[in-house]
Structure 1
Amino acid sequence: MTDVDDETGGPAHGKRVGWVELYFDLVFVFAVGQVAHGMVTDPHWARAAAALGLFATLWWTWIGFAVLYNRRGDDSRAADRLFVLAGTIPCGIAATQAHHVFEGHPAIFAAAMAGVRLILAAAHRWPARPGLDQSRISWGYTVSAVLFGVSAVLPYTWAVWAFALLQEAGFLLLGERRGRRRGESRQRPSRAERWRLLLKPPSDPNLAVDSAHLAERFGLFMILLLGELVITVGTAALERPADDVAYWASLVAGLVMAGALWWLYFSSAARIYERMLDLSGGNPALAYSLYAVGHLFPAFALLLVAAGVNLSLHESPPQAAAWFTTTGLTTYLAGTRVFAVPGRPRWYAGLARIAALAATVCLAFLARVLPAPAVVVVIAVWAVGSTLGAAGIRHRALDRMGDDPVAFLRGIQEQRHRAAGERTTGS
């Protein structure tokens, strides 16, 4: 990370991503590739749903190490590096077993996931750091390790995994609970109150996350997933003749699409998320909302797009090829909220956003009248158009946000309350 952040125009701050973290990501290059390959070998929606569940399991495993290093990791300490390096072994084993999970044989994968969580449990307990008590996190990972171990011999594997991941989410980034006095009624907080709590620094500074490091870690993971799309397009060249014009058109279209998706995320969404997390003082609940959960579906959408483009380049593309591509693109656009209009949007702005997302997914119907490579070209053109349209919207959001997202969000809330009051008065 440099001394000056060119994107935001202000001084860069926060810890650097460690070299050992980049090495750790190499394992997940292979792992996510296996998930995408699983959808290519059996292009049906049931397989895509299973791939999402498998990806979510790997996703939370990666997040465990990202948050660990964010809060207490240091490349200068050998113990921190050794825990991450040790984690590459069971993660690598799990990556090799991904296809067996699709085939209904998850035992070795589950055992590997249990081993990963034992390493995370030990890493959060030893070596002890002054003022940093993460024993609850350590015990939580121990429980997850037991659950994954038991799931290797149980018939309802996915249910056990879902429960393990949900309880991990509760202790890893939602560790600070708001107390309730005796006799106090339990009321659902308003949206403004929830934003206030999310933008409030944690009472325990040890629970805070480093916004610059976390933003960079997730940005690198998104690059990793975009790389799967680039690899998909490039490897298709090994199986097609050099004079195949349709292939070369889809090759260019695939790379253009990858560039557009990169632009959509890194030119707007990534900057907004980091700025909000930085203002909150590293609030772990906000990090959970923006990154851990907020990035899950857009991240998986990139794999869905990669699988769809891969299938489109086959000699006889299945019907699911176009649908995987357009559904993935739609999920990515919705998940990164690139069409969200800041401030007080008109009624037609929301309608236009819904229409744009619906039109994106419906591009798959073009496969009935156009060859698969031509559909990829059309979808790439649409992605570029979406990028151009979203660029102005998101830059206006950044300009209005300035250095005080609280005032920006408060202004939106006040405008909405006034609009609601006007509608009530008018009726």
Structure 2
Amino acid sequence: MTEVDERGGKRVGWVELYFDLVFVFAVGQVAHGIVADPHWARAAAALGLFATLWWTWIGFAVMYNRRGDDSRVADRLFVLAGTIPCGIAATQPHHVFEGHPEVFAVAMAAVRLILAAAHRWPRGGGDQRRISWGYAVSAVLFGVSAVLPHFGLLWAFALVQEAGFLLLGDRDRDRGRGERPTREARWRTMFTPPRDPNLAVDSAHLAERFGLFMILLLGELVITVGTAALERPADDLGYWLALAGGLVLAGALWWVYFSSAVEIYERLLGFSGGNPALAYSLYAGGHLMPAFALLLMAAGVNLSLHESPPPAAAWFTTAGLTMYLAGTRVFAAGSHHWYVAVARVAALAATVNLAFLDRVLPAPAVVLVIAVWAVATAVVTAVIRHRSFTRLGDDPVAFLRQVSEGRGTEPEGGA
């Protein structure tokens, strides 16, 4: 039987942790692709490739969240089978960057056939059959993309239709009223449990699942720092600046997410009774930007520690930090004052413009300054999030109304 934690949700299974190791290798190769060609065009291509891998991982995460059980051999076998094509895809990012996506596309098609079979076995209900057909369509699209140009468009279409089948199957609850619902009505719909209990998402499991994956992505930054620092002589001041700056940066990023955002995400999803549309907003869609930002920062720090860092090194690091802060909504204070919104925008602008320091400081020193800035941000975030969590209370719609009126955030990107 699947273990249940003290919060009432099931725990992440051991086979899921093993599956994550394959994906960490895959996204690490995406980061290395940015390092190999440090230009913004490559970073944009990396985002598209990362989104494809990310949504593949989402498929297994949601499947196991809804119906997976470590005590069932079939469920474990489906996950283990998925590691084979995912492992093949993990070796292909550099080929995709060079315009040769054939092996990667076929591997992604095979993964989706496994997901399609998993949702039909042993006796999938109506929603499970719908999801299975969605993955089958995606498998065909990825397979066709292996032999056609402009493969990115087919991949994007596959992921969009896949998302509709997977998480948004209960959104038609309020359709047919003849009028467009208000924003507050849409929020209340999101905080209504799904009509079909089989569609409900386990909030405790999903929060732990994403938290563990974010930890693994932070590990990519730590490994980057450690590996690059090993190549410096021990009497080099840059060695110590790089090591200290990278580790402080990783620690601050950990604090921003795990001490400021994760509790609110889980509590909001718990209020909704596991509404899949809200789960998509908070986790599948809401975590994409901060997750990719961790890879972009890892690439930026890696490049900053080269003997002759390229101009993009500092910009990748600061742009990644800005994306991370924006994606986790750390400055959403819910204040009605206009100057709070201005201060929020100014803080994000100042974060990205820290890259100009590379004109007066060596690259390792810039990394250290960015790390100190991230620590200051974590401190401010802790104060803001503590107030937000207190204000959340037992009425999440009232909380979101306050935040929105303060130009804070909406469910699409987090709370």
Structure 1 counterpart of 2:92: 97
Mapped contact 1:132–1:206 kept (Cα < 8 A): no
Q: Distance in 2 between matches of 1:218 and 1:390?
A: 20
Mapped contact 2:193–2:272 kept (Cα < 8 A): yes
Q: Distance in 2 between matches of 1:413 and 1:244?
A: 49
Which of residues 144, 155, 165 in structure 2 aligns to 1:171?
165
Q: Distance in 1 between matches of 2:183 and 2:373?
A: 34
Structure 2 counterpart of 1:56: 51
Show the 5 A alignment for 1:208-357.
208-342=200-334, 344-357=335-348
Q: Distance in 2 between matches of 1:53 and 1:169?
A: 16
Could you tell me which runs of 5 or more consecutive residues in structure 1 were left unpaired when the two chains were aligned. 5-10, 417-427
User: Do structure 1's residue 397 and structure 2's residue 402 form an aligned pair?
Assistant: no
Q: Distance in 2 between matches of 1:378 and 1:402?
A: 37
Q: Distance in 2 between matches of 1:406 and 1:309?
A: 40
| Shift, 1:181, TM fit | 7.1
| Shift, 1:189, TM fit | 2.1
Structure 2 counterpart of 1:77: 72
Could you tell me which runs of 5 or more consecutive residues in structure 2 were left unpaired when the two chains were aligned. 408-415
Q: Deviations over 1:360-419 (max 9, x none)?
A: 000001111111011001100100011111110110000111344234335557899xxx
Aligned residue pairs total 406
Structure 1 counterpart of 2:411: none
Q: Deviations over 1:6-55 (max 9, x none)?
A: xxxxx511011000000000101110110000000000000000000000
Structure 1 counterpart of 2:150: 156
Mapped contact 1:2–1:12 kept (Cα < 8 A): no
- Cα separation, partners in 2 of 1:362 and 1:230, compared to 1, 3 Å: same
Give, as a single letter, the amino acid of the residue that structure 2 aligns with 1:140: G
| Shift, 1:179, TM fit | 5.3
User: Do structure 1's residue 204 and structure 2's residue 196 form an aligned pair?
Assistant: yes
Mapped contact 1:192–1:413 kept (Cα < 8 A): no
| Shift, 1:3, TM fit | 8.3
| Shift, 1:292, TM fit | 0.6
Which of residues 119, 124, 146 in structure 1 aligns to 2:119?
124
| Shift, 1:341, TM fit | 0.6
Q: Deviations over 1:273-310 (max 9, x none)?
A: 00000010000000000111100011000000000000
| Shift, 1:180, TM fit | 6.7
Mapped contact 1:16–1:213 kept (Cα < 8 A): yes
Give, as a single letter, the amino acid of the residue that structure 1 aligns with 2:228: A
Q: Distance in 2 between matches of 1:52 and 1:74?
A: 32
**TM-score, with length taken from structure 2:** 0.94
Matched-pair identity in %: 78
Which of residues 131, 137, 141 in structure 2 aligns to 1:143?
137
Mapped contact 1:173–1:284 kept (Cα < 8 A): yes
Secondary structure of the residue aligned to 2:261 is: helix
Mapped contact 1:326–1:363 kept (Cα < 8 A): yes
Q: Which moved more, 1:405-414 or 1:141-150?
A: 405-414
Mapped contact 1:226–1:302 kept (Cα < 8 A): yes
**TM-score, with length taken from structure 1:** 0.92
Q: Distance in 2 between matches of 1:217 and 1:80?
A: 17
Q: Distance in 2 between matches of 1:358 and 1:133?
A: 44
Q: Distance in 2 between matches of 1:40 and 1:202?
A: 44
Which of residues 356, 370, 377 in structure 2 aligns to 1:365?
356
